[in-house]
Amino acid sequence: MNFEAVIGLEVHVQLKTRSKLFCGCSAEFGAAPNTRVCPVCLGYPGVMPVLNEEAVCLTVLTGLMVGARIGETSRFDRKSYFYPDMPKNYQISQYDQPLCVGGSVEIEVGGRPKAIGLTRIHLEEDVGKNMHFHDSSGVDFNRAGVPLMEIVTQPDLASPEEALAFLLTLRQMVRYVGASECNLEQGNLRCDVNVSARPAGRAALGTKIEIKNINTFKGVVNALKHEIARQEEALLAGGVIAQETRRWDPDAGVTAGMRGKEDAHDYRYFPEPDLMPVALSRKRIEALRARLPELPRARRARLSKEYGLPDYDSGVLAADKAVADFFEAAARLSPNPKAVSNWMMTDMLRRLSKQEMDIAAAAITPRALADLIAMVDAGVVNMPTAKEIFGVLFENGGDPNTLTRERGLTQV
């Protein structure tokens, strides 16, 4: 018997705000434990949360980007559970009135486009971090109260490859819109993976297993591969899959049972009494829509058309908004956009990735790159010299004409 996999993702993205979701504490990563805390995010009795407006804006922007419906009234709820990293014993989340409903993300696997439906996007607070030492444990609450946007997909993904393509596309879009850095090492993007297997062609869904909190793309792919194989094997042997929550162990390469799955009623959701509903006027939503940037797919097509680039070049350049911005700024100053693209795709991106830095941190300006290309095209410098000058511009900035003269590098 052949089986097919059905996958749905719940992606948690840490929003790029300066402060936490309900208090003024810094949301910055990497501070000494328990130095970014206050009575609100430590859950002291009697404190009052105040909603971070920017977190709402970034979530709505993301929703608009994926074509979601933005609820004019949205509400926060308490999700109750006990765990040591959760100071209040409830998490402020959104239950039945999330900020965004519906929408979709288009992915491409094996050259074929496919739309992955979204159920919802809501806003919630992160929890603290348990730390285990030699003979004791501690909790760092710096992360407690940091804003998370949870993006829930429909069970539309059919393979680990599609799940990976979805995450990569989503990350690119979220970065474009400026909602998050999606920095995996800092835990900015974490994912709960839901997966079931069913006999190929059958309409009814199988029982799903949820694997919690995977924070690498490789982890998502490997956990899915392992879990799909495990379920198929069990079904082939005539067994049944019991609904449960499992944990991915990257070292052992297996998923292991954690607990039986809880239902919504186990969480005793009820409206958060200390926060007003969020009312977004049409005018406000349209003002946010006006902030939306051109998305990667559209930009790729435009780069090809406007600058006559091969599709491959456009795809590489459009993958990162800041890189595409730099390219366009230089290409507008140069009669030779293809040369700009060549420099960007080779020397620029190689240096950036080698030094693990963003293009914003490079000292070279679009003007300097355009001038350098003009000098090569005019035969003032040869290619090896131009490469050398590029290196200086990249590290220290400056102007290629002056540099060439100062160093006596002009071609005779």
Does residue number 8 form part of the binding site for ligand ADP (CB under 6 A)?
yes
Nearer to ligand ADP, 41 or 224 (CB): 224
Q: Nearest Cα to 290, choosing from 18, 11, 27, 57?
A: 57
For the range 38-43, what are the long-range contacts, defined as Cβ-Cβ under 8 Å and sequence gap of 24 or more?
A: 40/145, 41/87, 41/125, 41/141, 41/144, 41/145, 42/87, 42/141, 42/144, 43/87, 43/88, 43/89, 43/144
* Interaction residues for ligand ADP, span 116-155 (CB under 6 A): 152-155
Q: Nearest Cα to 316, choosing from 324, 307, 325, 326?
A: 324
Nearer to ligand ADP, 37 or 195 (CB): 195
Nearer to ligand ADP, 244 or 388 (CB): 244
Stretch that binds Zn ion, among 32-40, 47-55, 100-108, 125-133 (CB under 5 A): 32-40
Could you say which of 14, 17, 62, 194 contacts ligand ADP (CB under 6 A)? 194
- Give the separation between CA 72 and CA 282, rounded to whole angstroms: 8
Query: What does 38 bind: Zn ion, ligand ADP, none (CB cut-off 5 to 8 Å by kind)?
Result: Zn ion
Nearer to Zn ion, 15 or 330 (CB): 15
Neighbour tally for 342: CB within 10 Å:
15
Does residue number 38 form part of the binding site for Zn ion (CB under 5 A)?
yes
Query: What does 208 bind: ligand ADP, Zn ion, none (CB cut-off 5 to 8 Å by kind)?
Result: ligand ADP
Does residue number 208 form part of the binding site for ligand ADP (CB under 6 A)?
yes
Does residue number 10 form part of the binding site for ligand ADP (CB under 6 A)?
yes
Quick note: the x/- pattern for ligand ADP over 152-181, rule CB under 6 A, is: xxxx--------------------------
Q: Least distance to ligand ADP from the beta carbon of 111, Å?
A: 25
Does residue number 41 form part of the binding site for Zn ion (CB under 5 A)?
yes
Does residue number 9 form part of the binding site for ligand ADP (CB under 6 A)?
yes
Tokens of 149: 């946007």
Residues that bind ligand ADP (CB under 6 A): 6-10, 152-155, 194-196, 205-206, 208
Residues that bind Zn ion (CB under 5 A): 23, 25, 38, 40-41
